[in-house]
Every structure is written in structure tokens, then in C-alpha cells.
Structure 1
């Protein structure tokens, strides 16, 4: 008799469904934010380069600057590639 205008209320099932939908909603919001951040910063999640590639890059730069001759360049590059 004193139930008010809303009847018997929602019941437990409706509250559980609302909680699950709330988790799905906020999970979607977090997923969208993460995807947007990854898209604007693509290099942030990239794996680091192997050390031998950095060494070969430095070797190429030294050869380009004329610090080493072709024979030394070839010998060192061969040695680097053997270590892979």
C-alpha cells in the first residue's frame, strides 16, 4: 500500500544487469581512449631495435663520413653479421 508510484522496484536481476552494462560501457570508453593514444603515438609501443642493427647503422655512418675505408667497412660488417 505504501509502495509509491514505481511499483515493486527493479529487483535484484535488474540491478545486476545494470552493473554489467555499466562495466561494459566503461570498458568500451577505456578501450577507445587506449586506441586513440596508440594511434597518435605509434612509436611508443614499438619494440627496441636489436643491437647489431644499431652497430651496423653506426658503421654505415662512419663509412659515409670517410672515417674508415671500404676494406675495413666490409670486414667489420661481415663480423657484425656473423654474430646475428
Structure 2
């Protein structure tokens, strides 16, 4: 019984055992959490909230790029790719190359 009383007498802070270090570590952890949240919000604001997350954005809306992607995926064959590309290029240059 004497040993149990000695152990109980030497337990600091009613069994927490952390010592005064926790009073320093917890505010630092909260500070780091707040800084991380502020940094993430600032990065999102810089990139633009309306664009959405990077994984949800479309690669591009350029018709030639979309046509190239469809050809690369095998949705269209080479002859269809070339004919549609010619139509897109002629629509992009209505003057026919004249200055």
C-alpha cells in the first residue's frame, strides 16, 4: 500500500503527465491550423473561385484541340479528322488568307 501512495504522490498534474509543454504546444498547433486555412483560401482566391477545383476544369474549349482529342481517343478516323479540321480552319480564316 505504501508503494501505491508513493506513485500517486509523484504523478504530476493528476495523471496528465504532459507537463507545462502542452500549454505551449496547443496554441502553436492552433496557430498553424489557422495559417494553413488562410493560405488555402488565398490560393483559391488567386486562382479564382468560379473556375472550380483543378480536377473539374476542362482542358480547353478550342475546337481544334477538342477535335484532336476526339481523333486521339479514336472516336473519329483520319479522313473525318482532316475534313473537319479543314472546315474549322476555313471558318477561322473567312478572308481565305487574303490581306
Tell me the TM-score normalised to structure 1 length: 0.34
Higher relative contact order (CA 8 A, sep 6+): 1
